[in-house]
Structure 1
């Protein structure tokens, strides 16, 4: 009896019935499968060769051969096996998908994206959804390559074909869209231009065909069509050509086409936003890059070196210890190092009235390992030479008089380096003073530094030169718009600086007619939220929140907070989210007092119908905000009070547990006896409560955790339960205690 149903799809991935494809290779192929499962790859490869001598050209065996060569890190031989399949069957789905994967490994995601387009063109339209997983794989690697528009396009195709119960691509898309660190121009959903009216029949047919190809994710075919239309001067063809090239990860070609379109339509918001996109994705030439360099010396005397660094920190105040870290955060076995920052001037004492000019800049970082010391800095001419000389003088006998080993860590844009401020503030500086100094520095950079920087988008001219020449409105506006998303944007009035520099203003959308869903993401902060009707205001809030546009989110949430009647009509969770977002945004900006005020305002003005549901949410929100800026001694006692408050409130269990997990006070760990199941580890919570929780003097005269809370309660445990009643901890019996019976695990949502 055959091991594989003769009428099922062939295991080789061709989608042909097994009976008409690889059944003659069944015996050797099944033997190879057994060897692969046992990780006997050398024996499996020998078995493949033996099988191919008997069943020449068998696709199943050739697919196994490609897999085995890939596992042996032999991409050329793997590709030869795949090519042998495609020579006989060019539309073999499994081989086409495997070739994309091999290209991804050998040449990277952009080349894999091009290979995927070739694969799609080789198969029937009804078979293309099978490539959904390949789109997801390529999209994930495009994210790593920072080709975000192409990654989004690939993941959207993958999401359209993945099952509802395995939303991997949808989760990846949500992660990208909600990340405020990804600028709006690179993740905005751009639409292709429709076929223009009045075209000749031939041009209209070609435009329609190219749009159809793009709609089927055949972006390479669509780009070829739009390229010929662009050569004929057809309106909209350059926009569509640029977007298709963008989705393929071909940024250089995309920039050229999109800039042609921008010049054709003139200084409109669309042109400015497309130019901003071009400036962000345009490949940077070597002349505009600065090397981030690491110098490595062996250590002659580690104690002497550390003593010298600590002396420079305490006496000269030109070095600051940053504690310990590891060389490679992605490697759990990486070397642990002591980290120090070298400053360009002594660190001042905290006092009112300090200016940005008083702040010491970080010149470089010193990483002291067990047997070597590393100096990281940017190779900017004499500055780096001076940094090296300062370090060798400081290290003294701690390092031998030898030339260091030089490693280039990365290359960064020269302009980004010039606009970046990395400094060490005085210890104990008042938070309000710190915000003032940072605001003044951001204004200084925009007003004094940026206008003098040569920019590629301006043909190597500085903004001040381009303003004077008067011929670069679109790239100037696009470059300045990017300051809307700077780290200190919430505190700076950029329109006044724009006027001061002589850059034309950006238009304000009409609050009466604006289409929130169609507006470019970068334009959302310009919508006057306070003048929108309720429906549009809520739409602005939801879209800003779902796309990580924090400036628009803050403005829309503030406007909503002043409309209590509208919020009362929303659910308890929605109203909490509005005030919670305002609190978290304030906390992220370093304004803890303002954040806690938003918490109290949300709680105080809450409708009675919402209070019970939201009470634990408010308590934990305030706790988490305090935990950002306070020492554990200050906020952990309040944590104990909050846990006690909800000890017997099972309706609060999910909220409590979710917050404890998010704060890292609870951890999901594998079940010791059932690896496919997870359990909760409460040891971090126990540790912080034992160390920082409320204290009293016990009968023995010793300090301990408050006797009024004799155990560490966890959600799901009874009020009088023992300290671990609801949560298993590693080292405890998995099956439960002798008296308590089976342990109960309460997970979020249960």
Structure 2
């Protein structure tokens, strides 16, 4: 181990190497090499001997724990760390590793005391030693749905990390804040606020709570803030306690305190934000859910099984990812099928489909081939939500196979304990279930028809269905019932903001005008701002109240970057329009990104004329670029083509495709392959393409039909130049 004698010891005790673990350094190097070359058992045997011979050297205990953790033996890793701490109770790295192992083995709540001890011990010697602990907690909590806690632990990791790791951790934060499947109210910064406290003893308690929170000891801080809140009644202290409980993963207690803070808050908009957080946390922890059911079957003959299923007009074959798109670590199904509520006419172009008879997906089937080498049979997994959907899915399966078919293919229902669950369908809160729908359209139905039907469905859900849904946040009342009660005004407005987050996660951008006007719900008022206003501590929900038009150029540029990260469409749209209205700001931004974002927002809102106008703005901007103008123009042309293909009745579609063919086909021959594929797939009248040209399709490209977001590969006919397409 080539370490200078006066360098810090690699056991991270805080001592110099010479005065800590110098005498066993060479042995540890050999042991580490054994582990790296997959001789872990031998490495552990040597470590056991080394610990007995040099019990005063922490590095042998630390190394053993690190090896065991690398092998995911987290429970086992705790023993050498506990032995190390018996000899050196203040060893910061041993505390940090023990907390990490305990957390990964037992979970956050069981490991909380160990975690807090580690954070405080590390702070005394080297706070950066807590970085791996904080990041491990953050990642695990995000996967488990504790979003406020996960975000704060990412921020904690940033606070304690050494400078060399801060950039990577910053990217973790950006990735979290940009995840639109997380309610936007949980993303972005949340800070503990100060408030005037006259009593000196209370002030001392406040400072202690703040220090504990800064270290990551959130439950300890929460208890102190709650104690102060009960003594003083100040809303800020209730709010601080609520955040700290959420960061400690006690979301039930946090929700109670947010509800309490909302009642005490005099500012209506602030009260709505607190109540929104409370209702979101309640939903995150409700037992009132529509759960998904998984049925697992063993099959002797997959070919017979699939043949029988595909004859049923309510079972549709889906696409399985190509080998190049598959994650080698995942067990990817060899076939995927969907079960729908009503028969689907594969040749239909949607003339007979309206909002009340769209086929609904009621079940999914994943089919996994047998692995003869591992002596594993073929497996079929059926997923559906409980109640009517699982009953209908099982009925369709019985109809498709009948008793004889089950015998022929050797279908056998397995016990749930026999197979590890891999159910991809998440439970849905019961009160959100009315908003949840999955439709299946025949392939030939134009995309514009599908989007129009989805827009009609959302209009109905938002103006009628949601208004008549009983909500826990309204004490079990419906929004229509709550609208007549003044004391539920805050809760009703908060419920609308919860709906805002829910609809975004389901792919719809809520406009408050879509809600029944009789409810009397409107967006929260704008913040009062001036040139001295600072927004770095604004939550995402507060940020959306910032009036873009009243900002200075510098303020607008700061908010522009934050808005692009959180990507709340209503606010982002206003910010982007304001940027385009200021010449100095336009010089500072990537206009291509601005136009493409506006295109995306308007497209998802189904504002087709405005979408096309932003596409044309993007094309005009591309033509002015000093470099890569051709590639940029092509990107925008393909984006427009993708948009136009949604409406195959567009009389200008064929001419537009010919324009691309003539203008770009010579320099990028692959474009012609894609245009041929589009013409064939969408059954377009492209008379300017010859029959022989269309007949070459099978040999022209092995990549299939392109759509924006797909990548492409080099083609020998392109003289070595790769075709650059949207999404690359």
Same fold by TM-score greater than 0.5: yes
Structure 1 residues 285 and 183: alpha-carbon distance in aligned structure 2, compared to 1, 3 A threshold: closer
527, 535, 554: which is aligned to 2:573? 554
Aligned to 1:622: 637
Is 2:242–2:258's contact at 8 Å kept on the other side of the alignment? yes
Aligned to 1:484: 500
Equivalent position SS for 2:444:
coil
CA deviation profile, 1:551-609 (whole Å, cap 9, x unmatched): 21123323444x2xx236632753333222212333455667754431212444x5997
- TM-superposed CA distance for 1:182, in Å, is 2.4
Structure 1 residues 233 and 53: alpha-carbon distance in aligned structure 2, compared to 1, 3 A threshold: same
Does 1:201 pair with 2:200? yes
Aligned to 1:444: 460
Equivalent position SS for 2:382:
strand
551, 554, 561: which is aligned to 1:542? 561
Structure 1 residues 621 and 145: alpha-carbon distance in aligned structure 2, compared to 1, 3 A threshold: farther
Does 1:248 pair with 2:245? no
Aligned to 2:177: 177
- TM-superposed CA distance for 1:106, in Å, is 0.5
* TM norm structure 1: 0.76
Aligned to 1:387: 393
Does 1:507 pair with 2:524? yes
Aligned to 1:399: 406
* TM norm structure 2: 0.79
Structure 1 residues 134 and 621: alpha-carbon distance in aligned structure 2, compared to 1, 3 A threshold: farther
CA deviation profile, 1:706-736 (whole Å, cap 9, x unmatched): 9xxxxxxxxxxxxxx9967579xxxxxxxxx
Is 1:279–1:479's contact at 8 Å kept on the other side of the alignment? yes
Aligned to 2:131: 132
Does 1:320 pair with 2:311? no
Gaps of 5+ in 1: 648-683, 707-720, 728-745
C-alpha separation in 1, matches of 2:576 and 2:118: 47
Aligned to 2:598: 582
Equivalent position SS for 1:45:
helix
Compute the RMSD of aligned alpha carbons. 4.3
Equivalent position SS for 2:334:
strand
- TM-superposed CA distance for 1:439, in Å, is 1.9
Equivalent position SS for 2:64:
helix
Equivalent position SS for 1:358:
coil
- TM-superposed CA distance for 1:228, in Å, is 2.3
Equivalent position SS for 2:89:
coil
C-alpha separation in 2, matches of 1:585 and 1:507: 21
C-alpha separation in 2, matches of 1:229 and 1:577: 48
Aligned to 2:35: 36
- TM-superposed CA distance for 1:194, in Å, is 0.9
466, 471, 483: which is aligned to 1:455? 471
C-alpha separation in 2, matches of 1:686 and 1:39: 52
Equivalent position SS for 2:182:
coil
1:137-156 → structure 2 map (5 Å cutoff): 137-156=136-155
Structure 1 residues 689 and 332: alpha-carbon distance in aligned structure 2, compared to 1, 3 A threshold: farther
Aligned to 2:85: 86
Does 1:341 pair with 2:334? no
Equivalent position SS for 1:297:
strand
Aligned to 1:659: none
C-alpha separation in 2, matches of 1:384 and 1:412: 15
1:93-108 → structure 2 map (5 Å cutoff): 93-108=92-107
Structure 1 residues 109 and 587: alpha-carbon distance in aligned structure 2, compared to 1, 3 A threshold: farther
- TM-superposed CA distance for 1:498, in Å, is 4.7
CA deviation profile, 1:352-391 (whole Å, cap 9, x unmatched): 68542121221212334443433211112x5432431232
Equivalent position SS for 1:324:
coil
- TM-superposed CA distance for 1:685, in Å, is 10
Is 2:209–2:221's contact at 8 Å kept on the other side of the alignment? yes
Equivalent position SS for 1:356:
coil
Equivalent position SS for 2:295:
strand
Is 1:267–1:473's contact at 8 Å kept on the other side of the alignment? no
Is 1:592–1:626's contact at 8 Å kept on the other side of the alignment? no
Is 1:626–1:635's contact at 8 Å kept on the other side of the alignment? yes
Is 1:309–1:394's contact at 8 Å kept on the other side of the alignment? yes
Aligned to 2:427: 411
- TM-superposed CA distance for 1:57, in Å, is 4.0
- TM-superposed CA distance for 1:80, in Å, is 1.5
1:653-668 → structure 2 map (5 Å cutoff): none
CA deviation profile, 1:252-277 (whole Å, cap 9, x unmatched): 23222222212221572122112222
C-alpha separation in 1, matches of 2:289 and 2:127: 41
Structure 1 residues 619 and 306: alpha-carbon distance in aligned structure 2, compared to 1, 3 A threshold: same
Structure 1 residues 334 and 130: alpha-carbon distance in aligned structure 2, compared to 1, 3 A threshold: closer
Structure 1 residues 173 and 92: alpha-carbon distance in aligned structure 2, compared to 1, 3 A threshold: same
- TM-superposed CA distance for 1:491, in Å, is 6.8
1:689-704 → structure 2 map (5 Å cutoff): none
Structure 1 residues 478 and 7: alpha-carbon distance in aligned structure 2, compared to 1, 3 A threshold: same
- TM-superposed CA distance for 1:49, in Å, is 2.1
Is 1:32–1:44's contact at 8 Å kept on the other side of the alignment? yes
Aligned to 1:671: none
- TM-superposed CA distance for 1:426, in Å, is 4.8
Aligned to 1:281: 281
Gaps of 5+ in 2: 370-377, 647-653, 680-687, 702-715
Equivalent position SS for 2:14:
coil
